[in-house]
Amino acid sequence: MKNIAKYLVVAAVAALSMTSCEKWLDINDSPNTPTAASAKYYNRLPFCQFYLEHSWEIPGSNAAYYSQMLVSRHNQTNGAMNWNMGAANRGNNAQQWFFVPCASNLKDMYDKAMEAGAYHYAGAAKFMRAFGFMDMIDLFGEIPYTDALGASVAPEYDTGDVVFKGCIEEIEEAIELFSKPQEDGAEPLSTGDSWNGGDASKWLKMCYLMEARWLVKLSKKATGSYKDLKYDPDKILDCLAKAQQSNADNTIIRHTNENSSTHDHEGWDEVVTYSGVHSCIGQNNYHYWVSKMLYDNLTNFAGNGVEDPRADKIIPWVRSVKGPNTPAEVKWSPDGKWRRSLPVDLTTSIIKDNGPRYDWKWDGKWSISGSDCPPERLGDTLYVRGRVGYFANSPDPLYRQTSGKDESALSGAFHLRADSPTVMASYAEACLIKAEVLFNKGQKAEAYAAYKEGVKANIEFMNDYLDTWSSYASVEGCPSFTKMSQTEINNFVNVGLGNASNISLAKIMTQKQILYLLTLDSWNDMRRYDYNPDVFIGFAKPYNYLNTPSFLDYCPLDKSPRRWMQASYERDYNSANLAAIGEKVPGASSLPLVEGGAWYNSKQIGTLPVWWDTAE
């Protein structure tokens, strides 16, 4: 894959030519014929950042549905939600977006930065390489690593432990590089850094958080030194002590909602300033409803009778008018003009019965499009989907289910808008990882303090970000966009979360699921704790999975989703190396095979745990 870098720099010109990034366009001395040799290390950085972010968000917006927090009708996310491991996933996208436009540029970026004494750029290259490869083994279990991105078009595979250890070593090299000053004459990090504006201290804290995030995945291993790939709680806590200490330390990618002419030509040809979750979920028809599990945890967490102030920002709203038969449990805005969604219960047959319907139209009243809607679906207006406005055809963040009819406007949700933030690293996450580790060490009082601080930090971050949409007159009065009051926040943090005497692992991990909504880490936590309903409040296997025999061919009742099948081009063009690594993968030889099939083509490949998800 090494030669790919020679032509990818051409795409960088198109992909990063937005107004705020014009300085990145002067990429070499011959702009009409850019080459890998002439491309500057600081011009590669924002290009790689863009694709690394998307390679993380694209699979996260799919895999997170295994946790039963969200509901979808789309074939990919619906497959994950229903535990249908035979359905399509985003494996090809995930691997391509990392390897092709990002990873193939990192060696040249690192080498040139080191030669120039630009150690912070070299640190960024090491961070991105470690981050991307760690995601690959989270998804696929095994991946070419030591032999990847070189001359071979069919690189050999490495087992998950080899890749995991390599990623830890690379993130620790990144820490060393960000910890020392650059040499005189080196390009300032601010020239190319689109995430942290050149603040090396934020990069350093993000590196420490990533190391903690990854090392906590070893929780099934025996306790020992992380250098021996054992679970090392003291090392995790040491990393967290050097990670984010407040929201001011967060690494947040701030997207914009512009109908820009600058498109991503290496990926989906979309506007480059949009968030990846918006591209995958927000602008599409049937990707996002709130499940009963998420709804209950937002509106009555742990049965404490206090609504989470984030509920109104995560659960979608629709313009509506209260009628005589409106269910009493429906929540309305103070002015009575907006109605909040009710939850979709995935333990019922609603999905199997072709619900919820999403094609409601407004023409003086709500009606379903088409004449063959079954009677049981006529109440589906109570389930408000999270689709948001798309600036190619919308003047604001709202989506109109009936074009031109403001009465049919949907609010969307905090995570889904084109200008919603991508949270790469946050103080809230650092606190909640700390809470988990301390609780499992038996330090419950300290765990409670970290848990409470983490939830509070996430609420405060979201509250500050709500100002992003305050200038749109059309959203006035819609609770999806209004600020959370300090009274609401205090009541939830001090009462709704419980107290130090009743802190539990279930409370901590369920709050982590809310924090990790629509990210790959939601699935990582579910796997680490084996989808245990005693750990994740309200979790239950979906009705559709339990009542569709063909789904059980891919994931038997005693199994659960553990990995994705390798990308199709790996199975088609690198099959010899993929077959060879199977001898080293625990459990691979026990998978049921079709006649003449290989381990990686087994129908039940999705149930084979990745390396860190095992006790061995």
Its sign, for the CA torsion 69, 512, 133, 156, is negative
pLDDT of residue 366: 84
State the residue for tokens 């059980």: 552
Tens digits of residue pLDDT in 59-109: 999 999 999 999 999 888 999 999 999 999 989 999 999 999 999 999 999
Domain ranges of the chain: 2-245
Question: What pLDDT band is residue 538 in, cutting at 50, 70 and 90?
Answer: very high
- Identify the pLDDT of residue 323: 87
**Mean per-residue pLDDT, 551-561:** 98
Is the pLDDT reported for residue 23 higher than 60? Answer: no
Q: Give residue 392's pLDDT.
A: 62
The pLDDT, as a whole number, for residue 378 is: 85
Which one is predicted more confidently, 596 or 34? Answer: 596
| DSSP strand pairing (289-290 vs 70-71) | antiparallel
Helix, strand counts (H, E) of the chain = 21, 10
Over residues 465-473, the mean pLDDT reads 92
Q: Which residue has the tokens 């590669």?
A: 44
Contact between 214 and 167 under an 8 Å Cβ cutoff? The reply is yes
pLDDT of amino acid 104: 95
Across 27-36, 146-155, 526-535, least confident range: 27-36
How big is the chain by its Cα radius of gyration, in Å?
24
Are 540 and 533 contacting, i.e. CB atoms less than 8 angstroms apart?
yes
pLDDT at 359: 87
SS3 360: strand
Which of 16-25, 274-283, 399-408, 564-573 shows the lowest per-residue confidence on average (mean pLDDT)? 16-25
Average the pLDDT over 199-204 and give the result: 98
Region 287-300: mean pLDDT is 97
Question: pLDDT > 70: what percent of the chain?
Answer: 93
Supply 308's token pair. Answer: 């989470």
Q: What fold characterizes domain 2-245?
A: 1.25.40
- Angstrom distance (rounded) from CA 537 to CA 567: 33
Asked whether 128 and 178 are in contact (CB, 8 A), the reply is: no
- pLDDT recorded at residue 413: 97
pLDDT category, 13, cuts 50, 70, 90?
A: very low
Helix axis angle, 427-440 to 505-515, nearest 10°: 160
Look at residue 315 and give its three-state secondary structure.
coil
Rounded percentage of the chain residues whose pLDDT exceeds 90? 79
Q: Does the pLDDT of residue 29 top 80, yes or no?
A: no
SS (H, E, C) 71-130: ECCCHHHHHHHCCCCCCCCCHHHHHHHHHHHHHHHHHHHHHHHHHHCCHHHHHHHHHHHH
535 neighbors 509 (Cβ within 8 angstroms): yes
Residue 41: C-alpha distances to residues 20, 62, 77, 111, 116 (Å)? 19, 32, 37, 9, 9
User: Pairing state of beta strands 409-410 and 422-425?
Assistant: unpaired
Q: Give the pLDDT score at 275.
A: 86
Q: Are 144 and 86 in contact (CB under 8 A)?
A: no
**pLDDT of 576 strictly over 90:** yes
Please state which of the ranges 16-30, 212-226, 267-281, 517-531 shows the lowest mean pLDDT: 16-30
pLDDT at residue 17 above 50? Answer: no
Q: What is the pLDDT of residue 303?
A: 96
- Whether 44 and 264 have beta carbons less than 8 Å apart is answered as no
Read off the pLDDT band of 115 (50, 70, 90): very high
Mean pLDDT value across residues 306-330: 95
- The pTM is what? 0.94
| Cβ atoms of residues 460 and 485 within 8 Å | no
At 76 the pLDDT is 83
32: buried, middle or exposed (CB in 10 Å: 19+, 13-18, 0-12)? Answer: exposed
Task: Please tell me the predicted confidence (pLDDT) of residue 8.
Answer: 38
CB 99 within 8 A of CB 88: no
Residue 535 has pLDDT above 80, yes or no: yes
* In the predicted structure, residue 1 carries a pLDDT above the cut 60: no
Query: What pLDDT is recorded for position 393?
Result: 61
Provide CB contacts within 8 A for 219, sequence distance 6+.
231, 440, 528
Residue 518's identity, in one-letter code, is L
Q: What is the C-alpha to C-alpha distance for residues 606 and 553, in angstroms, rounded to an integer? A: 11
Predicted confidence (pLDDT) per residue in 396-430, tens digit = 899 999 988 999 999 999 999 989 999 999 999 99
